[in-house]
Each structure stands twice: as C-alpha cells, then as structure tokens.
C-alpha cells in the first residue's frame, strides 16, 4: 500500500519520499480519577472521552479530561505529574502557551477560561465581533501575539492578546506560519476524484506563494488537522476511507503528509486510529520540538503517539 500511495501522490518519475514510522509514547487506561482518564459511552448522550491535549516544551502532556472536570498532566513516560480542577464538564479544547492554559467551551459557557499553575485567572466570552455563534468555532490556536479562535474553518479572531488580556478581535484569514508573514489554508475538493488543496499566501493579500493539489486514494470526509511548525514545516492529516470488497467494512486511516515551506512533500505518515466511538475535539498537534503528537481513543485506553519530522 505504501509504495502505491506514494506513486499516487507524487506521480511517475518523482523522487521517493520516506514514510515516518509511528511511535507509541504511552497508554493511559480508562477509569476515574488519579492517573486514569474518563469516558462516557453515551447511553443517554454522545459518547465522549478526553476532548483535547497540549504539549509542554519538556515533553509532558496536558489532557482535557472534561468528564472528570479537570486538566491532568503526564510525564513523557505516562506518569501522573499534576492536575487542575475545572468548573464544568463542557470544555472541549485546550491550548498552552507561556505557562498559561486555555480551555474553550463553545456551547454552554461560550467562553475561554485561562488558568495558571494555581487555577483559573480569567474568563472571556467568545461571541462578539468576528464570531456570531460559539458553535461555529472550529479551532483554537495560541500564538505569540495572542489566542485566536478559528470561525467556520475560515477566519481567525484574536480574543486574547499576548498578555492574556481581552483581545482587539482582529480578524485574519488562514492559519499562521511561524516566522513568516504568510498564511496557510487547506480545503477538500468534493467534486470528482478525492483531493485536497493547500495554499500559502501573503497575509497582506495577493497571489498565493505556493499551491498544491493532493490526490487522495479514497473518500475523505474531513481534514483531521493542518499546522505549520518551526522552519515552515507543515503537517497535514486527512481522514481517508478506502473501499472494501462487497459486503466488507471499508478501511479507514489518518494519512499524513510532511510538507516543506514550498509545499513540496517531504515524507508521509499514517495512523490506524481514526475518530471512532468517542467524540474528540483535538486528535493531533505539533509539539514545541516540531514532532507531531497524536491522541487516540481506543478500547484499551488513550494512546499517545508521535511521528518525528523528516
């Protein structure tokens, strides 16, 4: 499958690119409290597990264990380091920057709660200029210049500044590229053969600096994540469904690409862990060292995974 996939992506005569192997960091079993993580199998609601996570510069991982109303921090080997209580179970996403934690509740509190090591320090509403309904928020990104909320997969709105004070509600299009004035955007082409499009274009407007079409070898219901990291290296992950023999269950996987600043494909990676039974807001993120970290909810527990950059 791998050699066919590379041929499909790059075309005949293209230089081969490596496939980055998946590394399993640790697994946290299901349970309640302590080092265990909570899940709700949805007998009277949507099945839900830990909704999001964030990675510290030292490699430790914060997990949003929303059902248990807490944030919990694990060491690089999966040991429990600390936890912080949350005032509600309805938070869905988590970001981290500069010693502060940001948790997002789009639907009930319709706010972002800011915490430090001692607990909550500030809560700000998300609805206002640039965001008419909290339910339309599609991502949360903590950058050097503040906390941004992505609305309807299109525009980013700054709701907090770099000092965690209420932001000016500046609106920009596309996702940031660290160390660059360019913005990144991606979308799925729903017509004809499945494919995705990626573009880098100047924040001030004008023609794209780089553009790439990525053929995908099966129906692709969503872009699982896209993010630019240090040096302009980009991780793009697509949830791909592949056809099976009549009567058989189709296979699904997350197909990932590492791309350079010019959108040239440098390597591929893959994960057999796609969204399944439990609702989850954040599956992937780039760690401060540039590696891609994944959080997968499985029947055995919560798996933390890594793909190193090429």
- pLDDT 10s digits, 157-211: 999 999 999 999 999 999 999 988 899 999 998 777 889 999 998 988 788 889 9
Query: What letter would DSSP give residue 34?
Result: T
Residue 188 sits in the same domain as residue 306: yes
Could you tell me what percent of the chain has a pLDDT over 90?
78
How far apart are alpha carbons 71 and 66 in whole angstroms? 8
Give tens-digit pLDDT for 72-81. 999 999 999 9
Note the pTM of the prediction, 2 decimals. 0.92
Q: Is 43 exposed, middle or buried (0-12, 13-18, 19+ CB in 10 A)?
A: exposed
Number of structural domains (the chain) is: 2
Final residue of a domain: which of 173, 200, 224?
A: 173
Distance CA 82, CA 295 (A): 19
- For tokens 């997350």, the residue is 254
Domain that holds residue 299: 1-32+174-310
Same domain, 185 and 271: yes
- Are 58 and 159 contained in the same domain? yes
Average pLDDT, the chain: 91
The confidence band for 1, taking pLDDT boundaries of 50, 70 and 90, is very low
Residues 185 and 154 in one domain: no
40 domain-assigned: no
The domain spanning residue 126 has which CATH number? Answer: 2.130.10.10
The residue among 158, 173, 188 that closes a domain is 173
State mean pLDDT over 36-53: 89
Shared-domain flag, residues 104 and 224:
no
42 found inside a domain: no
């Amino acid at each position: 499958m791998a050699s066919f996939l590379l041929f499909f992506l790059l075309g005949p005569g293209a230089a081969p690119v490596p496939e980055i192997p998946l590394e399993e960091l640790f697994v946290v079993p299901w349970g309640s409290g302590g080092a265990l993580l909570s899940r709700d199998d949805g007998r009277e609601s949507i099945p839900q597990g830990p909704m999001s996570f964030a990675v510290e510069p030292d490699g430790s991982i914060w997990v949003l264990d929303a059902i248990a109303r807490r944030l919990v921090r694990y060491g690089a080997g999966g040991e429990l380091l600390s936890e912080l209580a949350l005032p509600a179970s309805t938070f869905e996403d988590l970001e981290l920057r500069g010693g502060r934690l940001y948790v997002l509740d789009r639907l009930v509190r319709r706010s972002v709660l800011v915490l430090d090591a001692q607990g909550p320090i500030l809560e700000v509403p998300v609805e206002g200029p640039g965001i008419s309904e909290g339910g339309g928020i599609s991502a949360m990104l903590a950058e050097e210049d503040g906390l941004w909320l992505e609305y309807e997969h299109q525009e980013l709105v700054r709701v907090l500044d770099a000092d965690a004070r209420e932001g000016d509600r500046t609106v920009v299009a596309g996702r940031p590229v660290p160390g660059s004035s360019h913005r990144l955007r991606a979308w799925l082409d729903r017509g004809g053969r499945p494919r995705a499009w990626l573009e880098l274009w100047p924040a001030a407007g004008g023609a794209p600096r780089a553009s790439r079409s990525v053929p995908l070898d099966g129906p692709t219901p969503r872009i699982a994540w896209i993010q630019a990291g240090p040096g302009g290296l980009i991780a793009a992950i697509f949830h791909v469904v592949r056809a099976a023999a009549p009567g058989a269950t189709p296979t699904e996987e997350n197909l990932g690409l590492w791309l350079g600043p010019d959108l040239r494909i440098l390597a591929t990676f893959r994960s057999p862990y796609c969204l399944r039974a439990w609702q989850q807001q954040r599956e992937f993120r780039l760690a401060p060292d540039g590696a891609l970290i994944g959080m997968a909810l499985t029947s055995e527990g919560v798996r933390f995974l890594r793909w190193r950059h090429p």
